Chains A and B, each alone.
Chain A
Amino acid sequence: MHLDPFELHRPESVDETLELARRYAGSFDYLAGGTDLLPNYKMHLNLRPHLIALEDVGELRGHSLDRIGAMTRLADLERDPEFLRSYPAIAEAVREVATPLVRASGTLGGNLFLETRCFFFNQSYFWRQSLGFCMKADGDQCHVVPQKEKCYATFSGDLAPALMVLDAEAEIRGPGGARRVPIGELYDGAGDGIRRTRLAPGELLVAVHLPASARRRRSTYRKLRVRPSFDFPELGVAAAGRWEGDRLEELSLAAGGLETYPRRFDALTSPLLGAPLTDTKIEEVASKLRGLVRPVHNTFLAPDYRKKMAGVFTRRALAGIRPGATA
């Protein structure tokens, strides 16, 4: 498989980047690590003639406890012990992304906007041509759930659920100026595997901000995958909570790797506030979450198993953040 030629742009500021994005509207991709994009390009998946490389844009780099630049390498977070201690869910998520080699190139922004994945999409041009292309690239049908309306490709980033339960916010710049939204609102719950973000054309993720409250929460991220490295999540569950004594003050729960976008389950968690988080309540939430998620058969493990495990992993994540829990 070869890489077709493309024009590479290397802006050095956000303004310059936005200008390039305007000029090449509809015909570019951002290059933010390339560990997923370039393999996809080799498979001739939705090639664009222009790549805007973000690594020289200083405003996107660097991280502190409050702010993570969009171009922060995952390996940089991994090497910051204070950061890892402050946010166990992020620490666990980062460490479980792919392999050390991928994390040395892969970035926060790249992971948040990771292309959704599917057995019938992440294949070579030859493979897809031989099957008859799918609606996500070069075709108009779905091979997972046969119909032509909706793409079921799975969101497979690990960081989004972890950031979502910590109430992190995305700082976005675009033609209309700057705005901040909760991480969960980057994803279009009404969309599908193709129409998957709520960013307007020309908008760019600059950084992710973590509120001071995030550091007061106990948090965790639990990932299911076939092998203990390299693999994308078959599901990932994040949970974060704060207690006063044994009384639950804040609780949030999010899952990824199951559907076309990561989602938070506030309706399940808010009734639990103000009381201890008992085994029974945990079991109830786990079983409800399991009933809510709708995985399809486009990853390695069967959907009924992933659904069942969504319950188990939710239970373990919630039990794992209770005061005094050891794992």
Chain B
Amino acid sequence: MDAASPDQKFRLLGGRIPYVEGPLKVSGRAEYTDDIKRSGMLVGRLLRSPHAHARIRSVDVEAARRLPGVFAVLTGEKYPTQFGVLPITHDETAIAVDRVRYIGDIVAAVAARDELTAERALAAIRIEYEVLPEYNDPRMGVQKVEFPIHSRGLNGTNIQKEVVQHFGDVDAALGTASHFVRVRGRFSGVTHAFTEPLVTIAESTPDGRLTVWSATQVPHYLHRSLSEVLGLPMHRIRVIKPEVGGGFGGKSDPLPHEIACAALALETGRPVKMLFDREDVFLTNHGRHPTENDVRIATDAEGRILAYDIEALIDGGAWSSFGTVTTYYNGVLSMGPYRVPNFRYRGRRVYTNKPPSGAMRAHGGTNIRYSVETALDELSEQLNVDPFALRELNALPPNSTTINQFRITSTSFVKCLHAARQRSGWDAKHRKLPYGHGIGLGCSFYISGSNSPIHFTPKMPQCTVHLKVDMDGGIAVHCMQADIGQGSNTLMAAIVAEVLGVDLERMHVVRVDSDISPIDLGSYSSRVTFMMGNATRKAAESLRDQLVHAAALLTGYPPERLEVGHERISVRHRPDVGVSYLEALHKAMERSGALLATGSYTSPPMGGEFKGARAGTAPAYSFGAYVAEVIVDVETGEYRVPKVWAAFDCGRALNRLAVEGQIEGSIHMGLGQVMGESMNYRGSRLLNPSLLEYKIPMPQQMPEVECLLVGDPDPEGPFGAKEAGEGPLIAILPAVGNALYDAIGVRFTELPITPDRVVRGMEQRAAAGRTWKGA
């Protein structure tokens, strides 16, 4: 039976598979980078800039170098090569060379025998700065500025990237529109706040090799950057990814401290560990961009979308990071799950003297989605059409192409709408609950793996998986895919076990190690299940074919009459005639010993021919429709979200336990951005670089979540699966915003929606003479 058939039955997949590394993690025995001790290991520390924008006039490190116990003091000039996650925007250095660009920028690195000595060495470094004007608001940088933050800014401005796109004819469409809504959204920056702080160990050895252990989502990109900046060929560098305690995009860039730590190891010939505290993590940031957007949506009299006209002003912070992608995504990810016949977008990402923004879970698709879904809620009110009906009317059909030439294959968006509407009891609640109590809908659309590998030369698969099995029957699975807690190791093991019919406990997912793991590009853009899953499946099928061939020799039946059962290969419809898995394996090994198999995945060609056409193209897309219920204290503005119905289309959920975990975790993270998470600045200075003052929701704030996994299998996804790691975050934000509107009649277009803003909103509504639900 075709694996994409919804009726396909599996032994493991589609069930609830506990994480293979779970027992190690819950018992504290899993090995994270900080757990690794190397003989003679030094402590690495960084000196950070106290200025938001300044020239470095002089650096005097002599006193620091002379301190007993100090092994190395490095400044920027030794490794000035610029790097960055995107090859087209290399603008970072491991250590600042002659300019500092934000409070926290790295100006020197020290390796010493212990923490205290390292801190003393930092204090002994003398730096003379010439302070420059600081640009802490993107609006300050859209015109020509006196001291551009980077020389690569557009025409002497601080604009890092400008995207202008126009498909169809927006002005003509606006001329014929009967309804029109405008939402101007404002979004604070938010950060990942992963549990495990950033940490790197580097060791250079006399054989001329450098080994780097790091808490990273992108071991391969780190590998490349280390090579580029340090001037060592890649084959002399070994990158190891131990267990990682969460990333959410915050570990998806090669980061300056990783390279600085490696540089200290080269300098000292000793192992060096650099462990960040929470303030360091906040200053490294690369979180979701502070954003202002301006969304205009026009419809016909029935509510059919005629046009989107969108602008976004994106605060990039000091570096480019993923910013070029961010700038595209804020436009191109705004359309699906709807059919938008005319689309115009202008997005600008501007450098500022603040900690760099980058990729964070549902990167580029979150802030713009909030404004779009808020606008649609407003339109449904104007049109007097139910919010569900409005969205269903505009849903993209399966196997269609968007105006900007995205290839949509599977979509179960309409099924999501139906499930969320029915399960939430929407029709009995919307606009019918008492004042202060509301219900709202938000929808989502996200890429299931970026079609464009970041490094597209040389042309190679996006993921390769190797399997090795010896006479003991245990199966070693090698791949550089980065499990950061999302369960990809478990999925990889389960796919192999499923295809071979063997027990999961035979799988040994080998720790990511560039010496032995074939390349996967990393955990970002929700690509791992789709790409690694397909590569793993191919590798497992190749191994299965070898075993079946051996079983054919043993049974005398041709391979096409054999089938794989539990730990056994037998004749189809004659289960008594067959051999055990081990018998088949040992027979297969007679020819050349341990079996090897490989599988890889390369996404098919897609996308248009225009500039930027690849941005946002993906082999599949996820869809979602969430309903949230809110209860507001109408005096204090405090509110809670007791219940969320999360209908999500991730194709076939291969591990329901992991998918539900991703949805629940996403809702928690998304609620944070709605309810209180905000990187607060005074000028260029981050005011709340701590988990006490950066307000991640507490467990008591977590709603009851009902996951409705209604997706049909995707034709190209592994066993029909699509992503479930990022898309599930998106819909909760507008669902809560729209539920607040239903509760108190106030449109919130600025996040986070803190209680003081709720009170102000109600006061302004009352002052305007508008009543709501009788209040």
By a beta-carbon cutoff of 8 Å, the part of chain A in contact with chain B is 1-2, 4-5, 119, 123-124, 126-127, 129-131, 224, 226-232, 300-302, 304-305, 308-309, 312
Is B756 engaged at the interface, CB distance under 8 Å to the other chain?
Answer: yes
Comparing B78-86, B364-372, B695-703, the segment that makes contact with chain A is B695-703
Bitwise interface map of B from 501 to 523 toward A, beta carbon under 8 Å scored 1, else 0: 00000000000000000000000
Chain B contacts for A119, CB-based, 8 A: 687-688, 693
A-B contact pairs, 15 of them (CB 8 A): A2-B116, A126-B279, A127-B689, A130-B49, A130-B50, A130-B685, A131-B685, A224-B636, A227-B698, A227-B700, A229-B698, A231-B692, A300-B693, A301-B755, A302-B756
User: Do B692 and A230 have beta carbons less than 8 Å apart?
Assistant: yes
Find out whether the CB atom of A130 lies under 8 angstroms from the CB atom of B693: no
Q: Is A126 touching B700 in the complex (CB atoms < 8 A)?
A: no
Q: How far is the CA of A222 from the CA of B84 in the complex (A)?
A: 50
Are A228 and B103 neighbours in the complex by a CB distance under 8 Å? no
The contact of A301 among B279, B635, B689, B754, by CB within 8 Å, is B754
**Bound CA–CA A302/B700 (angstroms):** 24
A232 to B759, CA, bound (A): 21
A305–B759 CB distance below 8 A: yes
Chain B residues with Cβ under 8 A from A126's Cβ? 48, 50, 279
| Chain B residues whose CB sits within 8 angstroms of the CB of A309 once the complex forms | 636
CB 8 Å contact bits of B679-691 with A (1 = contact, 0 = none): 0000001011100
* 6 new A-B contacts at CB < 8 Å, known A130-B51, A226-B754, A301-B756: A119-B693, A230-B698, A231-B692, A300-B688, A302-B756, A304-B756
In the complex, B670 has a CB within 8 A of chain A: no
Distance in angstroms from B596 CB to nearest chain A CB is 48
Contacts of A226 in B (CB 8 A): 676, 695, 754-755
- With A127-B689, A130-B51 in contact, is A308–B759 under 8 Å at CB? yes
Assess whether A130 is in contact with B103, with CB atoms less than 8 Å apart: yes
B338 to chain A, nearest CB (A): 35
Is B541 close to A, CB under 8 A?
no
Cα distance A41–B50 when bound, in Å?
A: 21
Asked if B277 lies at the interface with its beta carbon under 8 angstroms from chain A, I say: yes
Contact B693 A305 (CB under 8 A): no
In the bound complex, what is the Cα–Cα distance between A124 and B687 (angstroms)? Answer: 11
CB distance from B631 to the nearest CB of A (A): 14
Q: Check if A228 sits within 8 Å of B756, measured CB to CB.
A: no
> Which A residues are CB-close (under 8 A) to B277?
1
Q: Which of A131, A227, A230, A301: most chain B CB closer than 10 A?
A: A227
The A-contacting residues of B in range 613-661, CB under 8 angstroms, are: 635-636
Closest to B700 in A: A228
Interface majority SS (helix, strand, loop, mixed), chain B: loop
**Closest Cβ of chain B: how far from A113's Cβ, in Å?**
19
Q: Which residues of A lie under 8 Å from residue B77 when comparing CB positions?
A: none
Complex: A2 Cα to B698 Cα, angstroms: 27
Determine how close the nearest CB of chain A comes to the CB of B104; give it in whole angstroms.
8
Q: For residue B687, which residues in chain A have a CB less than 8 angstroms away from its CB?
A: 119
User: In the assembled complex, which residues on chain B have CB atoms less than 8 Å from the CB atom of A130?
Assistant: 49-51, 103, 685
- In angstroms, Cα B48 to Cα A119, docked, is 20
Chain B residues with CB under 8 A of A231: 692, 695
Q: What is the CA–CA distance of A1 and B118 in the complex, to the nearest angstrom? A: 11
- B755 neighbours in A (Cβ, 8 Å): 226, 301, 305
> Does B115 reach chain A (CB closer than 8 Å)?
yes
In the complex, chain B residues 180-198 whose Cβ is within 8 Å of any chain A Cβ = none
Contact, CB under 8 Å: A300 / B695: yes
Shortest Cβ distance from residue A30 to the other chain B in the assembled complex, whole angstroms: 23
In the assembled complex, the Cα of A4 lies from the Cα of B119 at a distance in Å of 10
Complex contacts, A308 vs chain B, CB 8 Å: 759
Q: Using Cβ atoms and an 8 Å threshold, which residues of chain B touch A301?
A: 754-756
* Chain B min CB distance to A9 (Å): 22
Measured CA separation A232–B695 after assembly (Å): 12
What 3 pairs between A and B have smallest CB-CB spacing?
A: A130-B50, A305-B756, A228-B700
Given the known interface contacts A2-B119, A227-B698, A230-B698, the answer about A312 and B635 at a Cβ–Cβ threshold of 8 Å is yes
B91 smallest CB distance to A (angstroms): 23
Interchain CA distance A294-B471 in the complex, whole Å: 77
**Chain A, residue nearest B756 (CB):** A305
Contacting residues, chain A, for B635 (C-beta < 8 A): 312
A145 to nearest B CB, angstroms?
A: 14
Beta-carbon nearest neighbor of B49 in chain A: A130
A119 to B754, CA, bound (A): 18
Please name the residue on chain A nearest to B763 by beta carbon: A308
Considering the chains assembled together, what is the distance between the CA atoms of A305 and B758 in angstroms?
Answer: 11
1/0 per residue, CB under 8 A from A, across B241-276: the answer is 000000000000000000000000000000000000
Across the interface, do A129 and B50 meet the contact criterion of CB distance under 8 Å?
Answer: yes
- Would A227 and B693 count as touching, CB distance under 8 A? no
Contacts of A224 in B (CB 8 A): 636
Residues from chain A with a CB closer than 8 A to the CB of B279 are 1, 124, 126-127
B695 (CB) vs chain A CBs: closest residue: A226
| Closest B residue to A229 using CB positions | B698
Q: Which residue of B49, B685, B695 is within 8 Å of A227 (Cβ)? A: B695
A227 to B639, CA, bound (A): 11
Q: Do the beta carbons of B51 and A2 come within 8 Å of each other?
A: no
B724-775 interface with A by 8 A CB criterion: 754-756, 759
CB-defined contacts of A4 to chain B, threshold 8 Å: 116
CA distance A127 to B687 in the complex (A): 9
The A-contacting residues of B in range 499-557, CB under 8 angstroms, are none
Residues of A within 8 A of B756 (CB): 301-302, 304-305
B685: nearest chain-A partner, CB-CB: A131
Residues on the B chain within 8 Å of A127, using CB: 279, 689
Q: How far is the CA of A261 from the CA of B313 in the complex (A)?
A: 43
Chain B positions within 8 Å of A232 at CB level: 692
Instruction: Give Cα A228–Cα B700 distance, bound, in whole angstroms.
Output: 7
Interface centre among A4, A226, A308 (most CB of B within 10 A): A226
Residue in B48, B115, B701, B756 with the greatest tally of chain A CB atoms within 10 Å: B756
- Given A119-B687, A130-B50, A309-B636, residue A228 in contact with residue B701 (CB < 8 A): yes
For A128, give the chain B residue with the smallest CB separation. B50
Which residues 103-138 in B have Cβ within 8 Å of A in the complex? 103, 115-116, 119
B278 to chain A, nearest CB (A): 9
Q: What is the CB-to-nearest-CB distance from B625 to chain A, in angstroms, rounded to a whole number?
A: 28
Least CB distance from B673 to A in Å reads 14
- Closest chain A CB from B370 CB (angstroms): 21
- Min distance, Cβ A43 to any Cβ of chain B, angstroms: 9
Complex Cα–Cα for A5 and B119 (A): 13
Q: Are A227 and B676 in contact (CB under 8 A)?
A: yes
A5–B755 Cα distance when bound, in Å, is 42
Chain B positions 700 through 726: 1 when the CB is less than 8 Å from some CB of chain A, otherwise 0:
110000000000000000000000000
Smallest beta-carbon distance B109→chain A, Å = 15
- Bound together, the chains give a CA A152 to CA B698 distance in angstroms of 29
Q: Which residue of B lies closest to A119 (CB)?
A: B687
**Docked complex Cα distance between A198 and B771 (Å):** 52
Least Cβ–Cβ distance between A45 and chain B, in angstroms: 13
Name the B residues within 8 Å of A227 (CB-CB). Answer: 676, 695, 697-698, 700-701
Task: Tell me, in angstroms, the Cα distance from A126 to B116 when the chains sit together.
Answer: 15
Q: How far is the CA of A165 from the CA of B115 in the complex (A)?
A: 47
A77 to B630, CA, bound (A): 34
